[in-house]
Structure 1
Amino acid sequence: MTDSLADTFDLGALRSPVAVHDVRRFDRAQGTPLGRRWKAKIVVCTLYLAAQAVFLSLYVPVAKLPSATADTITGAVFVLSGLLAAWWCAVAWRDAVRAVRVARAAASNGLDFDVHPRVVDLPGTAVVSLPGAVATHALRPRSAGRWPVFTAASVGPEFARAVRHRGIVAITLEVQTPHIVVHNRRARARDGFASKVRGGQRLRLEGDFDRTFSLYVPAGYERDALYVFTPDVMQRMLDVAADCQAELVDGWFVLTARRPWRLWREQEFVALLTMVSVLGTRVRSQTQRYRDDRSLRSGEVAPHGRRLRVRLSAGFIAAIFVPGVFVVAGLCRLLGLV
C-alpha cells in the first residue's frame, strides 16, 4: 500500500541541489530572524575564531612560555577551535539545505512548510503533557481538495533539550467524538499513559489486535469506540502507523510518534503523507455519520464522554497532604473528637 502511494508523491525536491541564493530566498520567504539565519551563524563562528586568535596573541607573550610550549598550545587551540567551528557551520548549512528541500517537496505536493518554532495550538495528550511546547517543521495543506485539513509537526519544549521531542499529526474530523485513546505497545511510549487512566475504561479488542493495542474509552462508550475503530481501521494503523499512538479528542484524530519527523528523508516524508491519506481519510469517513445519542445537543458529545477519567497525580496528592492533615485535625477539635 505504501509503495503504491509513494508513486503519487513528488519527491524529486528532496534530492535537488541547493545553492546559497536558494537558502537566502527561503529565509526571506519564511521571515527567518537575522539571528537564526545561516549567514549569522557563519559570522558568529568567524568572530569566535578571531577572538581565539586575539586571546592567544595577548596571552602567550604575557605568560612568557617557552617557544616550543607556546607553539604547541597555539596549534592545539587553533586545531580544536577550527574543528568545532567547522562542525557547527557544517551542521548549520546541512539544516538550511534540508529545510529548503522539504519546503520544495511540500510545495510540489500541495502543502505549506513552516520550519520555525511556533506556540503549539494542537490537541492531544502528548501536547498537554508538554507545557510551554512549540511546534517546528510544520506541514499543512495549502487548500482543500487533495488533503484533509491537518497539521503535522515536531513538538517539544523550545529550550529544554532533555525532554524528547515528538512527531504529531492532527487531522480535523467533521464531527465531535468521544475521547478515545489507542495505546500502541509497539510505539514503546514512555509517557506512562496506561498508569494514569482510571480503571474500568479499557476495552479489549478482538483477535491479535489486543496484543498490540490497548483501547481506552469512557465508560458507556464501548460500542461507539468499536464503531470507529473497526478491524479495517486497526489493520490500516498496523500497516502505516505501527509506531504511533492514536487519539480521538475534540473533533480531531491525532497520531503521535515518540520521536520527531525527519521529513528530509524520503521514506519518512512518504510515511507521514501515507498516514494522512490512508489512515486519516479512513477515520474521517468512519466518523462522519457518528452521533452521540446521550447528548442533549445535536453534534456534541455528552460531558462524561468528552474526556477519559484519570487518576490523581502523585504531585497533587503530595501537595495537599500536609494541608489536609491540618484540616482534619481542626475538624476533629471543632467536633470535640479529640
Structure 2
Amino acid sequence: MSENLPDGLKTFLTYARWSGAEVEPLPGDASFRRYFRIRRGEQSAMLMHAPPPNEDPVPFLRAAKWLDENGLRAPRILAEDKAQGWILLEDFGEVRMREYVDAWPDDEEQVYRTAIDALIELHQLPPGPFLDYSMSEYMREARLLTEWYCPARDLSVDHEGYTRAWETVLAQMLPRQRPGVCVLRDYHAENIMLLGGLEKQGLLDFQDALNGHAAYDLVSLLQDARRDVSPQLETAMFDYYADRTAAGADFLADYARLGAQRNAKIVGIFVRLWKRDGKRRYLDYIPRVWALLERDLTHPALEPVAAWFDANIPADLREALGGAWPQ
C-alpha cells in the first residue's frame, strides 16, 4: 500500500474482511473526506474516510440507512468504524450522470426525468430522522457570500441590511416547508450514479440531509453549479415535477427564493475553498453560479434581496465581478 494512504486503513480492511485488497485512491470533493475503490478479484467496494474531528460519519450512516430502508438507492453499508471515520460501501460503479449526459446528450431529458422521479418518490415519504432546515441555517449559508466573496473582492457592504433582506424573503416561505420533506442538499449530476441503465440511479453525498422545502433539491439539480443546464430543460423539468406533485401556487416563487439563497451560499463556499483550503479550481464555477443567482433575483419574490444587491454591488460591477476570476 502507498505511504500516502491514511493510518488505520489496513486495520479497518482486516476488520471488514477485505484484507489484501487493492486500494485505489479517488479524486476528493470539497471536504476533508477521502474516497477509495478497493478490489479483490471480481469484487469491488467503496471506502470512505471521514475522520473526526473535521468530519463526522454518523450523519452519513443515518441518512444512508434511512434512504435504503425507504426504497431509495443509497449505497448499502458493508462495514463501519464510526470512531475512526471509516465506512465501507457498496460500489455503484463509475457511470455518473454528469459524464453520461455530456457524452450522450440525446438521453439528457430522460436521465433528468428519472432523477426527478426519485425526488418525487422521496417527497412522498414522511420527514426523515433529521433536523429542520431552520431560518438560522438558511441565514448562516446566505451570509457566506458577504463573509467570503465580498472581502475577496474588496467590497464594503451593508451586512445588517443583507440579513434583513434575506429574512424578509425567506420568512414568507418557511410555513410552506412544514412538516417538510427530506432535503439531500447536494442533489446534482455529479452526485447521481447510473446503475445498469438509465432507469436506475444511485444517490451520493447526502450526509447533510435536513427536513425542508420540496423545491430545494429540485433547484439543486436544475441550477447545477458544475454543469450547464439549459433554461429550456430547467423549465421542462420544473413543469414535469410540478405536474406530478402537489406543488402549489407559491412553488415557483419558493424555487426562486431557494435558488438565490443556494447560489449565494455556493459563491461564498467556492471562495472559501480557495482562500481557506487552497482549492482554486472552484473559482472556475463562480461565473455560472453568479449568472444563476442574477436570474433568480429577477423574480418579484426576491425584491428585497435584489434591492440590496443593487445598492451594494451595482449591476455594472456585478457584471464585471461575475466573470472569470483574475489570475
The TM tier, using the shorter chain, reads: under 0.3
What TM-score results when the alignment is normalised by the length of structure 2? Answer: 0.25
State the structure with more CA Rg.
1
